[in-house]
Structure 1
Amino acid sequence: MPLAALGPRICIMGPSNSGKSTLAQAIGQARDLPVVHLDQLHHLPDTDWQPRPVAAFVALHDAAILDERWVIDGNYSRCLPQRLARATGVVLLDVPTLTSLRRYVARCWFDRDRIGALAGNRDSVKWAMLRHIATTTRANRRRYDALAATIDLPVVRLATPRAIAAFYRTAGLTRPRRAAIRAGSPPAGT
């Protein structure tokens, strides 16, 4: 499916550490779409992933989806119905759990300028996150299967790192340089 078929409001969902933020940034650059990283809306900047109050997060989320053009990465099922109601296309990443675990550890140890990071935060390996990735991915995979079968939107499903790389190539996407992303301003309200 061509990237243009996903329209001007694209949701990118998938397991933690599957490459959602990097793909969102690449699509945003290629299609000139504002990029919204839900992790940045859900968590307070300059903290170690401290969540905002629920009402504040929902308000930021709902304001972001009112725009006519965007690419949003993240799951946050609490707000998924209203996000899908505005979306024009969905990309589902479905990488193996071991890939997500490996990417999580690598980003915490080696990736100081990762795309989608919280302002003022340095990621560190946390047991709770390792457990979340190891136990939640399987259940989420079943939910994504059901979601893909029921939504009336164009859906691109990418189930392996190789499939993701092929999507980058066929869509003419370039992996964004982190230094360029750091120089940009964070999304409104963060």
Structure 2
Amino acid sequence: MNEGDSVLMNELGPRICILGPSNAGKSTLAHTIACANDLMCVHLDQLRHIPGTPWTLRDDEAFQALHDAAIAEDRWVMEGNYSRLLPQRLARATGLIVLDVSTGTSLLRYVRRCLGGGPRIGGIGATRDPVRWAMLMHIIGPTRAGRRRYAEVFAQSALPKRYISG
């Protein structure tokens, strides 16, 4: 970690929220930050979905209980969107990072991730994910609207923050 990274981490504090579209690199960034700063790494997909299943959702109450327990901790970096629970997450956060990549980049990263080897950081299974039509449509549709939402959250937030596009 270089001096600039250390300054950034001091500014963002011990509870960092990472938002952004699907396949923007949220999981990888959260993992990297957590390892470098001795923070608990929380991947919201792992809380929302039942591990070892083909992306089967937990019920809302179970997900919220896991989410709320995680944000109650003192030191974490949490990645994922799940807008319904975002207000309480941001209320506990000490810093915010918003990642933004184009729809084309998101699609390319998704396909590469699925066709590549093994499990991914932040995934819910022990194997790689198959390319799913529903996920392709999610990246093309709802993810685009999400980008506007994340930009608004960023603009309105008084937290120390960074906007990273690429």
Shorter chain as normaliser: what TM range? over 0.9
Q: Which residue of 1 aligns with 2:41?
A: 35
Identity %: 58
Amino acid at match of 2:123: A
Q: Which residue of 1 aligns with 2:107?
A: 101
Q: Which residue of 2 aligns with 1:77?
A: 83
Amino acid at match of 2:70: A
Picking from 101, 116, 122, the partner of 1:116 is 122
1:20 corresponds to 2:26: yes
Count of equivalent residues: 160
Amino acid at match of 1:150: Q
C-alpha distance in structure 2 between counterparts of 1:111 and 1:52, whole Å:
27
Amino acid at match of 2:51: P
TM-score in terms of structure 1 length: 0.81
For the 8 Å contact 1:48–1:121, the answer to whether it is kept is: no
Amino acid at match of 2:9: L
Picking from 147, 151, 170, the partner of 2:157 is 151
For the 8 Å contact 1:90–1:155, the answer to whether it is kept is: yes
Picking from 6, 10, 15, the partner of 1:4 is 10
Q: Which residue of 1 aligns with 2:54?
A: 48
C-alpha distance in structure 1 between counterparts of 2:108 and 2:138, whole Å:
14
- 1:115-143 CA-partner distances (Å, limit 9, x unpaired): 11113453011111000001122211211
Q: Which residue of 2 aligns with 1:90?
A: 96
Amino acid at match of 1:8: P
For the 8 Å contact 1:12–1:91, the answer to whether it is kept is: yes
For the 8 Å contact 1:45–1:119, the answer to whether it is kept is: yes
Structure 2 unmatched runs, 5+: 1-6
CA RMSD, 1 decimal = 1.2
Amino acid at match of 1:140: G
Structure 1 unmatched runs, 5+: 161-190
SS of the residue corresponding to residue 129 of structure 1 reads helix
Where do 4+ consecutive residues of structure 1 move more than 4 Å? none
SS of the residue corresponding to residue 152 of structure 1 reads coil
TM-score in terms of structure 2 length: 0.93
SS of the residue corresponding to residue 92 of structure 1 reads strand
